[in-house]
Structure 1
């Protein structure tokens, strides 16, 4: 094994910038595309004809991005090395008729997306961001990144049983944020406000995909700044690491035996079944078109996929010091001890023994330590895009990630070194 890479705080600093600039999946893919373009990648339109020329390409579709690099000497049947991740996070999303209110309070009607820790959204200063669809058929990203909304918790004086019975939140009644005062709930007030914020004429916005986010920025934490606290690390931490790794191998000048790919999907938190989700046709279509653009056939596509490997990178659970009994007694992943290999024999994760060998080889080459996660037998196991990718495309897939605390909270916690260690392991994997 190589000497473990010296910690580069610049990587984690850049991750913090990425998190702060990516309050929605749409902003995340825009941030990733900006980094890839600096590395020489160029955007392709799905409606244009593609060619098989060398270099980096990427495709954007809504909140998803697929990027790949065709190295010199690549054949139509050259296999792919894929880093898979997802861009969405659990949050509160604006309903089609957003304007609401009662008893002198102006409110925004929201719907629960995914499985957030609801209590973590209480008494937080929230902004609003997302995608505005325009009358002319175009779209505009919007990000009001300042205190605008708040979900106020009920005072303990009005809920004396909260300390004994625990906090109980009704998703419909108790999570609607306030954003002003007044009894006149005017239809379209929020959208008119966002049009003004975006410099758009009144009535220009005809559709929207909007969501709330905490405006508290990412921050180092702890006596020696050895921890990182921030929003949406599940799973923008992996998107950022995969983007950095792909850009690194594309600019290294090394001969690559594989075609490195980043596949960052939307809608993982609610099942991945969409045109931008891992259970949709996006990745398969891009890989097939890449083969055909290089003069390949159906046989070449089959050979390429048969030799391909995907690392499904998503955050996992570090052992919680206050709830260690919830973890498997022999598997206690720790912060800053390297990425985790996620295993579940019931295929909630896609890892098997041969996949473990691929990841172990990549970590050994990079000099990065790794850990193993398996759920306590008495606890249900979550899942990822890994099993979906393996089943849909017939690609050997391995589930990995970084161990964090407070998963699905509005603000999560990890070791400050782990994002850098993950990125190093991904570089080695993409290099082959």
Structure 2
């Protein structure tokens, strides 16, 4: 009998929430089959079967919180004597890395599930990433997995995808929004019919996984950091004009750049000039960081995640644009790794994509500042020749840790940001 324990899957975690169970007692499993999917503070991972055999006990159910070290599944492998899937011993040294919106300890010696490694070849229907149950249903109903676009973690094909394909409906994916478009209202509503009976229904839903981690990190930041927010509206008409010219050119389809990577490039440029912004507080010591990793807040159906563009100061706007797009897609597909989300020194939150102009973003602890980017608004104004023109105004909101960053420092940051965004050629030269 082989006892499978829930092991540290690579994020230094202590618990996880069972997202999906793929087998039941009596089912046959092969080594490498995905026993269940677990959702942690950062990522969702599939846990593989370590041996061939028959499920003798399934000690978990969907929605259950499990602790590292617990026996979750028992597999009858036909061999005498009980055996356990023992996690590797962890070293005493622990390093700190950024979690969903905060920091958690990450051990140096970890067990990583083999199924997280992507196959380079996909030639037959068996090679396509899919759950065992989805493969069984597809095989029974003659559904070709190679023609299905999976909606599960890491583009894995789920049972729902197979059933949709069988019924003739298609599975499509949406491109994540990373730009700050002009707000447009598409709200339509049908007035409800009042029946004379008011409902008092309440649905109780416990916080689990990522949402629980977000709640903890936000409370930690809001409780421990005396934050102050400064705002400034910047004329980015030249950037809008340059971007429109690029879109309408012959190379517009090849070089697609949104406003966000331009803002990120401006941020890294200003941070290099104002060293007291790219900092954090460690006890009574001020840590002045001479590297520039920019966290990008991404909204997903599971909650807010903050993947990181590493060494943004050494990359071009085009490189930053591609990296943001890749990270946003991974966030939407729930395939971010721990390395994707650790090491940020400063964060940018683009709430303009939701049509919001100004907000007071909460600092991504232990960082000391976060920049909020609002939606672009067209306004009438005077140009240098005192002529009335239409300007494209971008609202910025800078929240800082007032223990170590003064309001004047925040003001200088926004002023220099405005100078760069109003004269964007300097960013491309840089």
**Which category of TM-score, normalised to the shorter sequence, fits these structures?**
under 0.3
Q: Which has the larger radius of gyration?
A: 2
Q: Tell which has more relative contact order, 1 or 2 (C-alpha 8 A, sep 6+).
A: 1
Q: TM-score, normalised by structure 2?
A: 0.24
Q: TM-score, normalised by structure 1?
A: 0.24
